Amino acid sequence: MPAELSDETRENLADILAYDEMLRKWTDAGDAAIRDWARTKRHEAVKALLPNHIAEYRRGKVGTAKGIGIQANEVFKIASDSRTSREDELARQLLEKAYDEPLFQSQEFKKDFQDADARKVLHGLFRPINSRSSADNSARDNFGAGLGLIAKSNPTDFAAQPGGALGWIQDRMRSQQDVALSDLVNELCRLPTG
């Protein structure tokens, strides 16, 4: 949602509407000079409107179905020539707030999490020390804390952190000893955990 329109933007819009009305009214062949003047002035008004309009969107908020307001200036302050960076930032903020009780902290990831990284994290935690690769250790260090698998103070040892997916599974198993894996997956993929 854009911010409230400024007086300057309202004037630009009024000018555009006035020139549009002039172009509709002055249709006779003898009115070509007036039509050309109105087209030129309308074009100037549109050029003047664009910077004001962009500024209002920057001052506005991005609203979501859950009513989460993300300040547009946080998203648009990224260099204007980097559309993918803006989209990535908007997606990150929306996904962070998409679930009431997220089971991992993606902002603590030191780089983008890929499918292959999941296996490397597990190898970095549970393989014997002499058979771990440097990629396994790196993945463990980059993603272990964010996934709630290690304590930041001791990144080499497995230690399920409270509030993470493993803690949720442990709580679920305490309440019901015999749970099908498919049921756990289904519960983990719904709100509030996502």
Confidence category of residue 98, pLDDT binned at 50, 70, 90? low
For 11, 12, 23, 82, the CA distances from 39, given in Å and listed in that order, are: 17, 14, 8, 33
Q: Which comes out higher in pLDDT, residue 154 or 71?
A: 154
| Residue 29: CB atoms within 10 Å | 6
Residue 141 and residue 121 share a domain:
yes
Residue 127 and residue 92 share a domain:
no
- pLDDT of 40 reads 93
For 38, 50, 55, the CA distances from 17, given in Å and listed in that order, are: 11, 15, 21
| Region of poorest pLDDT, from 125-129, 161-165, 179-183, 188-192 | 188-192
Domain assignment present for 121: yes
Domain assignment present for 73: yes
Q: Which comes out higher in pLDDT, residue 77 or 126?
A: 126
**Calpha distance 25→19 (Å, rounded):** 10
Residue 4 has pLDDT above 90, yes or no: no
Q: Which comes out higher in pLDDT, residue 42 or 55?
A: 42
**Calpha distance 5→45 (Å, rounded):** 16
Residue 68 and residue 50 share a domain:
no
How does pLDDT run across 67-84, given as a tens digit for each residue?
A: 566 666 666 666 555 667
**Calpha distance 38→42 (Å, rounded):** 6
Residue 12 has pLDDT above 70, yes or no: yes
How does pLDDT run across 156-170, given as a tens digit for each residue?
A: 888 888 777 777 788
Our count of domains for the chain comes to: 3
Instruction: Tell me the mean pLDDT in the region 96-112.
Output: 73
Domain assignment present for 48: yes
For 139-163, b/e burial (b = at least 16 CB within 10 A) is bbebbbbbbbbbeeeebeeeebbee
> What average pLDDT is seen over the chain?
80
| Region of poorest pLDDT, from 53-57, 67-71, 157-161, 173-177 | 67-71
Residue 90 has pLDDT above 70, yes or no: yes
Domain assignment present for 15: yes
Q: Name the residue range of residue 66's domain.
A: 61-96
Confidence category of residue 123, pLDDT binned at 50, 70, 90? very high
Residue 44 has pLDDT above 90, yes or no: yes
